[in-house]
Amino acid sequence: IYHSLLGPDTLEESFPFFGYDWRDKNKMTTILGIHLILLGAGSLLFVAKAMYLGGVYDTWAPGGGDVRLITTPTLNPIVIFGYVFRSPFGGDGWVVSVNNMEDIVGGHVWIGVLCIIGGFWHIFTKPFAWARRAFVWSGEAYLSYSLAAISLMGFTASLYSWYNNTAYPSELYGPTGPEASQAQAFTFLVRDQRLGANVSSA
């Protein structure tokens, strides 16, 4: 609202750091780097919340689920990146197969650190020649790249919410797909029994 109603029409004169040209490849990678650093900081804020600032809800905690501090997040890269290299098809489950809060928090440690390192790398380096040739450097292209990234993250989040009740506990978000399927099967079983079917011999 500020930039629409009150801010200057152009920023180059008064705030040159915030001014840019869509075709300026170095400025675009600097903006990308800043965003990566902010994403990494957000990931590490989640880690701080889970480890030191009250903890997070764990559906698998003893006694039927509870809020607890995650004192020993998984930092072993073989475990964390093992999820990434699993097959997304069949029973392996790709990253969606994570089943404990230690791995989730440890994954956020890795993501946070890698995003921050990648952010500084993009700020302090210039695009390689192959990148300058491969990408289209325009506002429309950046929008399409961003939409593609958001769609990938949205697809991944939808898989998590549908299948993973560690990251999306059923107590807070409702049943996962498999849980809902089991409930539906039980509902039909009760219905058939009430209609006179002999379900015990089926």
Q: Residue by residue, what is the 3-state secondary structure of the chain?
A: CHHHHCCCCCCCCCCHHHCCCCCCHHHHHHHHHHHHHHHHHHHHHHHHHHHCCCCEEECCCCCCCEEECCCCCCCCHHHHHHHHCCCCCCCCCHHHHCCCHHHHHHHHHHHHHHHHHHHHHHHHCCCCHHHHHHCCCCHHHHHHHHHHHHHHHHHHHHHHHHHCCCCCCHHHHCCCHHHHHHHHHHHHHHHHHHCCCCHHHC
Same domain flag for 96 and 113: yes
Q: Which domain holds residue 200?
A: 177-202
Same domain flag for 157 and 181: no
Same domain flag for 112 and 200: no
Dist CA 111 CA 131 (whole Å): 23
Same domain flag for 189 and 160: no
Same domain flag for 58 and 156: yes
Same domain flag for 103 and 192: no
Structure-block tokens of residue 107: 């994954």
Same domain flag for 196 and 114: no
Report the pLDDT value the prediction gives residue 202, as an integer from 0 to 100.
58
Same domain flag for 125 and 188: no
Q: Does this model's pTM top 0.85?
A: no
- Tally the domains of the chain: 2
Same domain flag for 64 and 84: yes
Report the pLDDT value the prediction gives residue 147, as an integer from 0 to 100.
96
Q: Which ranges of the chain have pLDDT less than 70? A: 202
Looking up tokens 């607890």, which residue turns up?
Answer: 68
